[in-house]
Structure formats: C-alpha cells, structure tokens
Amino acid sequence: MKAITYISHIDELESLDTSKFSEVILATRLFSQVGKLTIDEMLEIIEKCKAQKVKYTLEWDILMTESRFKMYREQFKKYADLGFSSIRLRDPGAINFILNSYENLSIDLLLDTGGHHNIKAIKVWKNLVGDRLRKIILSIELSSNVVKEFCQEIKSWGVKTELLVLGRILLFYTPRNLVSPLYTDEDLEEFENNGKYIEVAGSSEESPHKGFPIIENQHGTFMFNTKDQYLLEYLDEIEECGVDDIRIDVRHLDKESKSVVDKTISLCENFNKEEAKEFKNQYPNSTTRGFFHVNKSDVLFKKLKNKRVQREDQGFIGEVVDVVKKSHIAILVKGMRNEDIALKVGDELRLSTPDGKEKFTKIHKLTQTNGKEVQDVKTGELILIPHVSGISVKTMAYLK
C-alpha cells in the first residue's frame, strides 16, 4: 500500500521523498474542482517530475455542460501528450472523449461521490471503460467491510483501488456563484487577481453548526465538512481491506501540509495506532472517521423509526388510515383471527397511537365505505368504526 498526494507548488516536489509515493496528482485551476496550479506551474512541475523519474497524473474532475465541455476538450488537446500516467475523470463526457480520442491514456475513475455504493454500479463503469481502466477511487461513504468486499472484486478485474485517508470532505457543489455576489466591486477585483478563487467560512441557519469551508472559483461553489476525514489510526485495517493507494489531500493546511504528509508517510511505513491517535490530537483541524469504521447511517435508523407504530403480531387487526372527528375512524384490516373473520361486532379493541397513548373501545357498529352496516369483516377490507377521541392516523389496532 502506497500513498498518493497533490503537488501544489514545485517546492513541495523538491521537499518530498517521492520514493515513498506511487505518484503525485497535478490539479490545475483549469481542469480541477479546487485546484490552484496554473498551466505554467504544471508544466514546470512536470519537467521536475521527469528529471526525478516521478510518476504524475492529471486531475480532470470538473463536471461540465456540453458547451463548456467543448472548450475544455480543446484545452486538453494542448496538454494530452505530456506523459501523464493517467487522467483522473468524473464527467461521463470527458471519459468518453478520452476513450475515443487517446488510446494511450489510462483512466482513473473518480467514484468517490454520488451513488456508487454497490459493486453493480461500479461494474457498469468497468464494462464501459474496459481495459483502459487503471484505478477506481472509492467512495468515503463505505464501511470497512464493504471496502474490503469491493477491493477483492475490483482486484479480480486487474484494477487498482484508492481511498481518501486524510483530507477535506465535500458536502455540496453547485455550478452557481454563491459567494462573489455578496462582495463589493473592490473585493471582486481581488477575486479576479487571485485566479477567481475565494475561500470563506459559512454557517447553518437550521443548526448551530458553523465554520463550513466554502470555496468559489470559475467552476462554481464547493462547501466542505467542518471536520476532515482522518483514517490514519486505521491504516492497518485499510491495508487488510486490500486498498492499493491511500490519498492524502492536505492542500488546505498550507504551511503545515508538509509536516502532516511526512507524519502520514511515517505511519504508513511503521504503523502505530497510539501514535496515530496522538497525531490526531495534534492535527490542525477537527477530524472524523466518517463511515469507514462504523456506518453511521445505520445508527440513525432506530431514531428514525417510531417503535409505537411498528406492528405487534399478537392480536393485530389493522392500521388507522383516516379519522373524521365526531364521525368515524377508518381501519385497514390487515390481521386475521381465523380463516373467515378478522373483526366482528362485539369485539373490544386496543388502539395504540403513535405518541404512545392507548385507548380501548368496544365495537357496536361496523360500516363499510358504501354506508352498509355489517356484522364482521375480513383481512384486506376497509371498515369504519365510531369515532374515538385522541386517535390519529398510523394508530395500530389490536384485539384486547
């Protein structure tokens, strides 16, 4: 298992021990969502990489409309033969363009966002890209057991895998400019001089959360989690899962980025869980382990489910689907006491409401929706009983 990281300045390339990395990522302002490299800086870094025999890959991860894609396609043609080990792609149009126009270029598929949470979806992409597929960048929304399952399957295709272990977590993206309209003309002049790049901190109106990093550039607006993805204390488990490359993305840490990368590489070579935990305490930002160790979406299910409206089998008759005050309650009969009758006149019901109340009523009258009175009903029928106060829709009905 080797590391892969971003190079944002030629000085970083000179200070890194590049033998510790499988390759480096070049993210330009032109082709990358939040890249800062100018084309001239990229060309300078490429010359240095060639001299040091360092592999380098180009990140082209922006999403494009058809009209914008035509412009980026023409721009890419100028740099396609610079010796990239692969092109990191997310946009289906860009993927199709590379497949049809450049037979010598390998593709790294960015499936770290969106709905790529099952192996069938990933396999569709594999079948589309074919032998040109070099690597799949996995979603960070996968638990460790799923990552292991996916890596085993993907390895059988002869394809490598990559996972973000340290870096920002993208929460939201829009091609619209959400930050610059709030600035004055003088501020916008600085925005233009800074390569159309603004970074601010945002807060939520619906919650007390604040400090969300927000970036606006020529590609749109990006909002990130207040906490960084931090999986360094699980590097042993990640390696056991079969992940080939771990990605380190600490471009946002500026001056501290080098020391963070060096420490990460040190942990990769000589893993120590306690050291990794201690380093987490020293890390400049708040961190989260995300979904890797525990799939947190599962934790919420019990909170989302109201146990009071979950069916109990014993004595179950049905569910209240409509209530008309001072008139009637409509029950969809779902339970059956025997082969013929589910509910009959004279039965006593226990009504369990969604808010935890229990009401009892004796059935003196059963009325069908056409107004006809009956003595009994069967499973699957909709029946009206006299109104009982305090009863709401989703109330469960049981024989007392």
Question: Tens digits of per-residue pLDDT, 289-322?
Answer: 988 886 555 555 555 556 666 667 778 888 999 9
**Can you give the pLDDT at residue 220?**
94
Q: Are residues 251 and 333 in the same domain?
A: no
Dist. CA 191–CA 204, nearest whole Å: 24
**Can you give the pLDDT at residue 90?**
95
Q: Looking at 270, 300, 330, which one is the last position of a domain? A: 300
Summarize pLDDT for 332-362 with one digit per residue, the tens: 998 765 556 788 899 999 999 888 889 999 9
Q: Are residues 31 and 155 in the same domain?
A: yes
Q: Are residues 294 and 317 in the same domain?
A: no
Q: Are residues 214 and 312 in the same domain?
A: no
Domain that holds residue 67: 2-169+227-300
- Percent of the chain scoring above 70 in pLDDT: 90
Q: Are residues 261 and 213 in the same domain?
A: no
Q: Are residues 209 and 320 in the same domain?
A: no
**Can you give the pLDDT at residue 6?**
95
Summarize pLDDT for 9-49 with one digit per residue, the tens: 888 888 888 888 999 999 999 999 999 999 999 999 999 99
Long-range CB contacts for residues 9-18, cutoff 8 Å, separation at least 24:
9/41, 10/41, 10/44, 10/45, 10/48, 12/257, 12/258, 13/45, 13/48, 13/49, 13/52, 13/54, 14/48, 15/258, 16/258, 16/261, 17/265, 18/52, 18/54
Please count the structural domains in the chain. 3
Report the predicted TM-score, pTM, of the whole model to 2 decimal places.
0.73
Q: Are residues 175 and 40 in the same domain?
A: no
**Can you give the pLDDT at residue 101?**
96
Round the average pLDDT of the chain to a whole number and report it.
Answer: 89
Residue 194 in this model has a pLDDT that exceeds 80? no
